[in-house]
Amino acid sequence: MIKILKYINSLPLPITVKHYVSFGVADKYLNGIWGEGDAKKRWQVLRERHPRYRIPKDRKTWLEELCLRKDGQDDRLTERVEALAKLIEKEGIKTFYSIGAGGGVFEYFLKKRIPNLKIVASEYTEEGVKRLRNVFLECDEVEFFDALDDKSWGKIGKDTEGVVFIYRNEREFSDAQWRQMFAAMHKAGVKRVFLGLMNMLTFLAFIQEKIRNLKHRFKGERLHFVGFLRSQHTFRSFWRGLYTDTEVYFPNCRGIYLKKK
């Protein structure tokens, strides 16, 4: 019985829904720039001003904020780093390409854990790249990288000892964009990809989100579109035929390690 309920909860169907959140009092940071087509502008403002998403301009503040409860900084962050470090060592990986690295916090702790791992952190806004370069001095390279530009993958594809890391970015892309990315990575020869997924759509998660957002509406808060949620079934369809996948222990997140077929 429990098995059947778990199966139903996992939504074994191709299903993707739009995801809305309330930013509560922090709403004032986003006024007027939270349209669906404005993702780049939205990240620019969040990285500049929003207390939860800001990348500090100076290294001192960035270092001080590394252990705060901010976006992606929960109390199991270093356990995730440790889990991935073990996989990297086991697989003999030499270069770590983090796509959409944001504030670079995961990458900072990983670099401390494996100092001889080459870390290439990237972002797709000029401002994000500039800020990360200013603060993350241990990083081997910080570069501009648009995951939706197929040509970007060429360089990474040539590195046979590298892994692509896409962490907590799953909501950013539509289903068509995810398919495009996997096709481009595969074509470029990218051998390994590690996905750290924070939100998987389940039946329960869907109901909980509806209730939560209803409460926000009653309080008079605005809801903002922040991307897409999809079921595990849908996710797997993105790389089917291109990569094999293995689930990896990755606390408070979902770790999936992909290898090129």
Ligand X SMILES: C[S@@+](CC[C@H](N)C(=O)[O-])C[C@H]1O[C@@H](n2cnc3c(N)ncnc32)[C@H](O)[C@@H]1O
Task: State the residues that interact with ligand X by CB under 6 A.
Answer: 43, 71-72, 99-103, 106, 123-125, 128, 145-148, 167-169, 172
Minimum distance of ligand X from residue 40's CB (angstroms): 7
Beta carbon nearer to ligand X, 43 or 243? 43
Cβ-contact 187, 154 below 8 angstroms: no
With respect to ligand X, which residue has the nearer C-beta, 71 or 245?
71
Give dist(CA 97, CA 47) in Å, integer.
Answer: 21
Dmax (CA) of the chain: 55
* Minimum distance, C-beta of residue 87 to ligand X, in the bound complex (Å): 17
Quickly count helices (H) and strands (E) in the chain.
10, 9
Q: How far is CA 218 from CA 29, 77, 206, 221, 222, in A?
A: 21, 34, 19, 8, 10
The nearest distance, CB 109 to ligand X, in angstroms, is: 12
- Distance of closest approach, residue 224 Cβ to ligand X, in angstroms: 13
Which one, 11 or 81, has the nearer CB to ligand X? 81
Q: Which is nearer to ligand X, 9 or 66 (CB)?
A: 66
Tell me whether residue 127 or residue 245 sits nearer to ligand X (CB atom).
127
Q: How far is the CB of 152 from ligand X (least distance, A)?
A: 8
Helices (H), the chain: 2-9, 39-49, 59-65, 77-91, 105-113, 126-135, 153-158, 175-188, 203-218, 232-239
